Structure 1
Amino acid sequence: MSGRTSRRARGRTGVLALRRAVHGEWTKLCTLPGQVWTLVGLPVAMAGLTALVAAAAEPGQQGTLAPTAVTLSGVYLAQTVAALLGIGVVSGEYPRVIRLTLAASPRRDTVFLAKTALVVVTVLVAAAVAVPASLLVGRTALPGGVAQLPYSSHMLWRASTGTLVYLVLVALLGAGVALLLRHAASAAGTVMALLYGPYLVTLIVRMPVHALHRVQKISPMSAGLAVQTTTGSGTAPLAPWTGIAVLGAYAAGALLLGWAALRWRDA
């Protein structure tokens, strides 16, 4: 009985410690105007780029145009903002402030969970505004001759929900890389290379179709954005949620390495 009571007490203590750590991370985020504006900028960036892309579409493209992907195309810019948010939550404390954080909350697992929880919640809220705004703006800006899926379509809901999940995973990828590298510029460069690098390679290097498909399947951006596919093959020859799983594997790997670095390297 005493052992069970002790475990419950430790569990309550752990939950309280996590709540305090999350509150501390939230306070730090709110005191950094740059981070707050970055958070606000995510829906603005996504809706703004979508409006430009949708307005440039032509009815004559009907055979090759994927209207749902166009109305969510702002994700290509919004993902950069999401990654910077994830990076900023972590990298702002290095190299000195992290010691104060660990002194206030010695359990590194608690600090790690608090940071990742803050990234998930803040980006989820911002993306929950960005995705519907992008859909509304994009569908309004598309030419009248372009057929669009009804709002009740399960494919439209899947593409929208998948885009929201995509942005959260990109932010977690940024947080994991930042924990590992401990430098904002290095982390940002690494994440941008992971996201945009394989796509740029496919544009520059001529390769057979099977090689192109292989690159698309392992690229976090091309694979992840396959969730937006409602017509044709989309950004990668993968099932929508399989593509999200590929991006999830990148994010999980980065978080695992970042957790290991925080646990055993950071003093």
Structure 2
Amino acid sequence: MSRAVRGEWTKLRTVPGQLWTIPGLTAAMVAFTALIAAGARPDESGTLDPTALSQSGVYLAQAAAVLIAVAVVSSEYPRLMRTTLAANPRRGTVFTAKVVVVAAAALAAAVPAVVAALFAGREALSSYAQLPLHSGQLWRVTLGTAAYLVLVALLSAGVALVVRHAAAAVGTMLTLLYGPYLAVLIIKMPEHALHLVQKVSPMTAGLAVQTASGPGTAPLGPAAGISVLAGYAAAALAAGWVALRVRDA
């Protein structure tokens, strides 16, 4: 197993275009958070959530998490996967190694990204009242956002194993993440339908870790929301394992 993991990591880090997806996630998270926070103003009711705004860069950074997973999985199709399976015919080992590398790469990028974004957002919102740095709620939002990015990467890995084409995998994931959210913005829905979409959409459910910073502020609580996303990721990985197991490379 360790040899398989090293092999997957070597393939990721030796292709510059793929390796840059890791620091790209961190840079996107911090830069987008700083831009959104700098332009944030209280809404009509006079409320503003500095805690959620300090992690708002996740809306762009999740695209980099998708690219990390697709770089690990889909870059080998259609030719190099045969070489990989010839060198290591145990498909379960290959599958596990890819999942481990995707999770580790996403985590290595996400943790510094959310911490740096936290301080960038706090600096941009320094004129507003904010939670103290020792606040448990503040770090729940921050570390929950990191967990969200890792789960998005794992979901992307499962989708990439099923789709097997890099562009198609990226397109599928971006549609899955942003599609329901954009539909909610464009289509005027009844409140019950809106809440249903927010509960079942991977992005809006998973990001309950930061939007549900107080009672009643989102259709799902933080634990329930991240569980929905984890369920999507588990189902996608299961489908990806079946696809790798039964389909010709």
Structure 1 residue corresponding to 2:41, chosen from 33, 58, 71? 58
Name 2:141's counterpart in structure 1.
159
Identical-pair percentage: 61
Structure 2 residue corresponding to 1:98, chosen from 58, 81, 89? 81
Structure 2 residue corresponding to 1:173, chosen from 129, 152, 155? 155
Q: 2:46 & 2:248 partners in 1: Cα distance?
A: 54
Cα RMSD of the aligned pairs, angstroms, is: 1.4
* DSSP 3-state at the match of 2:130: coil
Structure 2 residue corresponding to 1:183, chosen from 136, 149, 165? 165
For 2:190, give the aligned amino acid: P
Which TM-score applies when normalising by structure 2? 0.96
Which aligned pairs between 1:239-250 and structure 2 lie closer than 5 A? Answer: 239-250=221-232
* DSSP 3-state at the match of 1:92: helix
Q: 2:32 & 2:86 partners in 1: Cα distance?
A: 43
Instruction: Please state if 1:147 is matched with 2:132.
Output: no
Shift of 1:266: 2.8
For 2:194, give the aligned amino acid: L
- Listed as ranges, the gaps of 5+ residues in structure 1 are 1-17
Shift of 1:60: 7.4
Q: 1:183 & 1:255 partners in 2: Cα distance?
A: 16
Task: For residues 136-187 of structure 1, give each alpha carbon's deviation from its aligned partner in whole angstroms, at most 9, with x where no partner exists.
Answer: 101001141x111111111111111110110000001111111000101111
Structure 2 residue corresponding to 1:194, chosen from 169, 176, 191? 176
Q: 1:182 & 1:264 partners in 2: Cα distance?
A: 14
Instruction: State the aligned residue count.
Output: 248
For 1:261, give the aligned amino acid: A
Instruction: Please state if 1:212 is matched with 2:194.
Output: yes
Which TM-score applies when normalising by structure 1? 0.90
Structure 1 residues 60 and 35: alpha-carbon distance in aligned structure 2, compared to 1, 3 A threshold: same
Instruction: Please state if 1:263 is matched with 2:249.
Output: no
* DSSP 3-state at the match of 1:147: coil
Q: 1:198 & 1:233 partners in 2: Cα distance?
A: 21
Instruction: Please state if 1:87 is matched with 2:99.
Output: no
Task: For residues 35-90 of structure 1, give each alpha carbon's deviation from its aligned partner in whole angstroms, at most 9, with x where no partner exists.
Answer: 11111111100000000011102367783211111000000000000011011100
Structure 1 residues 206 and 45: alpha-carbon distance in aligned structure 2, compared to 1, 3 A threshold: same
